[in-house]
């Protein structure tokens, strides 16, 4: 179903990558399956989607298994399976657990104007108490051109300010390309370029996250922590939004709407 051997082939790259452990795998899913997965994405205006629309992020997403068509459902079932999780654990040398609830995962879609500021993912699952350790993202937009933007950016961390310091790497979006990375290294990531296709395309991706037992003394962060972009720095409204977006009780008041509530 997927090119799992290439994960093992790239473990050395993963461990030595800058600014934090990651690997890039092209042709990650069997080609016919990748075509089906891309075709199964809903329309960007589908009323089932949640829309994230604020100065930090603009995207739509859904993690409801009941909404997934056959190919998408089967892929997520495989990615959560004992076989694959055991393989990933052995290959990376980390005892991992699946998140069957796909918290933060599932379908992700960015239309024109789509953005995602540099951010750190939550590190403690709000229901399971486990640490988020590995992110796997599979890009599934057909006919995506580099000028459309939407590149996946990886930033280094400034240990003094605890904010992103430098954009160290950009990963161009390509159909059936996957990025796998470790989220526990102050792994600032996001879209380094805003999406602009002139109405020709939608940036589509599938995401799933793997968990581990949290080491003693692990920082508790149950929601993503965002950072301002260069044009937003020193803006008190943006800083206030960042704090509210990261708050486990108040985050929904500031960034989620249903499609039919636009």
CA pair distance 88, 210, nearest whole angstrom: 9
In this prediction the pTM is 0.93
Q: What is the mean pLDDT of the chain?
A: 92
Number of domains in the chain: 1
**Burial of 213 (C-beta count, 10 Å sphere; 0-12/13-18/19+):** middle
Whole-number pLDDT of residue 178: 98
Looking at mean pLDDT, say which of 57-71, 118-132, 221-235 comes out highest. Answer: 57-71
Q: Give 53-84 pLDDT, tens digit per residue.
A: 999 999 999 999 999 999 999 999 999 999 99
- Report how far Cα 66 is from the mean position of its chain's Cα atoms: 21
Whole-number pLDDT of residue 252: 58
The answer to whether 115 and 58 are in contact (CB under 8 A) is yes
Domain enclosing residue 155, as ranges? 4-261
pLDDT above 80 (res 260): no
Whole-number pLDDT of residue 221: 81
- The model's confidence at residue 257, banded by pLDDT at 50, 70 and 90, is low
Give me the CATH number covering residue 212: 2.60.120.620
What is the mean predicted confidence (pLDDT) over 228-235? 93
Whole-number pLDDT of residue 2: 92
Whole-number pLDDT of residue 254: 53
pLDDT above 60 (res 255): no
Q: Where are the alpha helices (DSSP H) in 70-180?
A: 70-79, 82-92
Whole-number pLDDT of residue 253: 58
What token pair was written down for 26? 């092209």
Q: Give 152-206 pLDDT, tens digit per residue.
A: 999 999 999 999 999 999 999 999 999 999 999 999 999 999 999 999 999 999 9
Query: Which string of DSSP letters, residue by residue, matches 55-102?
Result: TTEEEEEE--GGG--HHHHHHHHHHTSHHHHHHHHHHHT---EE-TT-
- The model's confidence at residue 16, banded by pLDDT at 50, 70 and 90, is very high
pLDDT above 60 (res 262): no
CA pair distance 21, 10, nearest whole angstrom: 11
pLDDT above 80 (res 259): no
């Amino acid at each position: 179903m997927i090119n799992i051997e290439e994960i093992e082939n790239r473990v050395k790259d993963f461990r030595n990558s800058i600014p934090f452990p990651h690997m890039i795998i092209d042709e990650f899913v069997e080609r016919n399956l990748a075509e089906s997965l891309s075709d199964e994405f809903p329309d960007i205006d589908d009323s089932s989607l949640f829309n994230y629309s604020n100065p930090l992020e603009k995207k739509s997403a859904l993690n409801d298994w009941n909404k997934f068509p056959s190919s998408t459902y089967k892929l997520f079932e495989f990615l959560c399976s004992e076989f694959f999780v055991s393989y990933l654990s052995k290959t990376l040398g980390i005892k991992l657990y699946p998140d069957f609830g796909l918290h933060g995962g599932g379908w992700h879609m960015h239309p024109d104007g789509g953005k995602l500021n540099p951010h750190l993912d939550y590190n403690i699952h709000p229901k399971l108490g486990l640490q988020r350790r590995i992110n796997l993202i599979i890009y599934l937009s057909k006919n995506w051109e580099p000028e459309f933007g939407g590149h996946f950016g990886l930033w280094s961390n400034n240990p003094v300010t605890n904010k992103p310091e430098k954009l160290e790497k950009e990963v161009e979006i390509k159909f059936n390309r996957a990025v796998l990375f470790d989220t526990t290294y102050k792994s600032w990531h996001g879209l380094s370029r805003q999406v602009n296709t002139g109405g020709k395309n939608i940036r589509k991706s599938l995401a799933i996250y793997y968990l581990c037992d949290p080491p003693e003394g692990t920082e508790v962060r149950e929601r993503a922590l965002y950072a301002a972009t260069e044009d937003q720095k020193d803006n008190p409204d943006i800083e206030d939004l960042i704090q509210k977006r990261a708050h486990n009780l108040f985050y929904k008041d500031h960034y989620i709407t249903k499609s039919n509530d636009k």
